[in-house]
């Protein structure tokens, strides 16, 4: 289920607060500032990666060399030699942010593999210039391929093959990577079901699907509980799918909370896929490549 509405509201609120705080820091410093790391994400309403080891109370300033580093309370300054190789995103006259692709690369050494992939999914899903998501993914790939060597480049290159389009939230990424870690075949993300539509005419889509087996996974975020209209829409969709012979497995944050609960969820999906003719060998223990 797409739970971007409440997440989007929280991101907009976080962005507003970040702009106010960063503007105050820049004016106190007496010069415009370039922000990177998680602060760049906050300034652009991009979800923060899970498992990040940076201090969330600090604002992360970026400079291209040590001579221009800024020190002060509430500030952590990072030297990023590539800061001037991609045009920053201008927030206001006092504040700029590293472009999302650079903030992603900058964070590669500070988040686990699944967090880095989830952040890339989020960047691809919300390109700032509203380009096609596939084009946004190509931008990430091109940056990693052509950028000079940087700390985390190997981690970024390893993450890229697992980045997907059409992902609505970091929890959906975590769901997909949980399955891959147990050797379940990779699902299609944001799958549009042929010939199936709501009464409004809108197409029916699925968070993750194996259409050849008619098995799907839907992630239910907080909106599923709090938004009655969304709940009814989900029930209508799932009933239509079941009448068409689909198996729909619904999960929430609890299913992803522990290694044991993730393994149980992966096994439930594997069982349905194998029963419907999929060919793979399920791994009872996750392989650990995503840090899950």
**Nearest CA among 164, 170, 147 for reference residue 41:** 170
Clarify whether residues 127 and 32 are in a common domain: yes
Residue 231 confidence (pLDDT)? 80
Strand order in the sheet with 59-63: 75-79, 59-63, 33-35, 95-97, 89-92
The alpha-helical segments, DSSP class H, found in 107-169 are 113-125, 133-146, 153-159
Label residue 225 by pLDDT band (50, 70, 90): low
| Interatomic CA distance for residues 199 and 205, integer angstroms | 14
pLDDT in tens, 90-145: 999 999 999 999 999 999 999 999 999 999 999 999 765 556 898 999 999 999 99
| Interatomic CA distance for residues 264 and 92, integer angstroms | 48
| Interatomic CA distance for residues 228 and 235, integer angstroms | 11
Clarify whether residues 29 and 127 are in a common domain: yes
Q: Examine the pLDDT at 21 and tell me if it is beyond 60.
A: yes
Computed over every residue of the chain, the mean pLDDT equals: 91
The count of other CB atoms within 10 Å of the CB of residue 12 is 10
Domain limit, last residue, from 100, 130, 162:
162
Clarify whether residues 91 and 180 are in a common domain: no
Task: Tell me if 235 is assigned to some domain.
Answer: yes
Characterise 152 by phi-psi region: left (phi > 0), alpha (psi -120 to 50), beta (else).
left
Label residue 175 by pLDDT band (50, 70, 90): very high
Domain count, the chain: 2
Q: What is the pTM of this model?
A: 0.91
- Asked whether the beta carbons of 92 and 141 are under 8 A apart, the reply is no
| Interatomic CA distance for residues 146 and 160, integer angstroms | 14
Clarify whether residues 37 and 143 are in a common domain: yes
Task: Tell me if 106 is assigned to some domain.
Answer: yes
- Rounded percentage of the chain residues whose pLDDT exceeds 70: 94
Output DSSP code: residue 63: E
Domain holding 183: CATH number?
Answer: 3.40.960.10
Task: Tell me if 214 is assigned to some domain.
Answer: yes
Backbone torsions φ then ψ of 167, nearest 5 degrees: -95, 125
Residue 234 confidence (pLDDT)? 85
Clarify whether residues 174 and 254 are in a common domain: yes
Residue 94 confidence (pLDDT)? 97
Q: Which residues partner with 59 through β-bridges?
A: 75
Clarify whether residues 20 and 157 are in a common domain: yes
Residue 128 confidence (pLDDT)? 59
Clarify whether residues 77 and 15 are in a common domain: yes
| Interatomic CA distance for residues 52 and 125, integer angstroms | 20
Provide the residue range defining the domain that includes 203.
Answer: 170-275
| Interatomic CA distance for residues 13 and 9, integer angstroms | 6
Clarify whether residues 240 and 124 are in a common domain: no
Domain limit, last residue, from 162, 181, 199:
162
Clarify whether residues 126 and 210 are in a common domain: no
pLDDT in tens, 55-104: 989 999 998 887 777 778 889 999 888 888 889 999 999 999 999 999 99
Domain limit, last residue, from 133, 162, 191:
162
Backbone torsions φ then ψ of 86, nearest 5 degrees: -130, 135
Backbone torsions φ then ψ of 38, nearest 5 degrees: -70, -25
């Amino acid at each position: 289920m797409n739970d971007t509405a409440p997440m989007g509201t929280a991101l907009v609120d976080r962005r507003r607060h970040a702009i106010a705080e960063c503007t105050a820091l820049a004016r106190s410093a007496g010069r415009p500032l370039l922000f990177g790391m998680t602060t760049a994400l906050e300034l652009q309403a991009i979800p923060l990666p899970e498992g990040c080891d940076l201090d969330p109370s600090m604002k992360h300033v970026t400079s291209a060399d040590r001579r221009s580093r800024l020190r002060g309370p509430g500030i952590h300054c990072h030297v990023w030699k590539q800061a001037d190789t991609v045009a920053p995103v201008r927030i206001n006259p006092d504040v700029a942010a590293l472009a999302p692709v650079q903030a992603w690369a900058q964070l590669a050494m500070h988040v686990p593999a699944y967090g880095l992939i989830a952040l890339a999914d989020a960047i691809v899903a919300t390109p700032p210039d509203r380009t096609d998501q596939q084009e946004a993914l190509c931008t990430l790939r091109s940056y990693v391929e052509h950028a000079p060597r940087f700390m985390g480049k190997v981690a970024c290159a390893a993450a890229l093959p697992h980045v997907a389009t059409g992902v609505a939230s970091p929890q959906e990424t975590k769901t997909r990577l949980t399955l891959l870690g147990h050797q379940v075949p990779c699902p299609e993300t944001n799958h549009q079901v042929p010939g199936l539509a709501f009464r409004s005419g809108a197409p029916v889509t699925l968070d993750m699907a194996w259409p050849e087996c008619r098995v799907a996974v839907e992630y239910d975020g907080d909106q599923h509980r709090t938004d009655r209209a969304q709940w009814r829409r989900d029930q209508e969709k799932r009933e239509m799918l079941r009448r068409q012979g689909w198996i729909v497995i619904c999960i929430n944050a609890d299913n992803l909370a522990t290694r044991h609960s993730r393994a149980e969820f992966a096994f439930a999906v594997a069982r349905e896929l194998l029963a419907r003719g999929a060919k793979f060998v399920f791994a009872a223990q996750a392989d650990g490549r995503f840090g899950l």
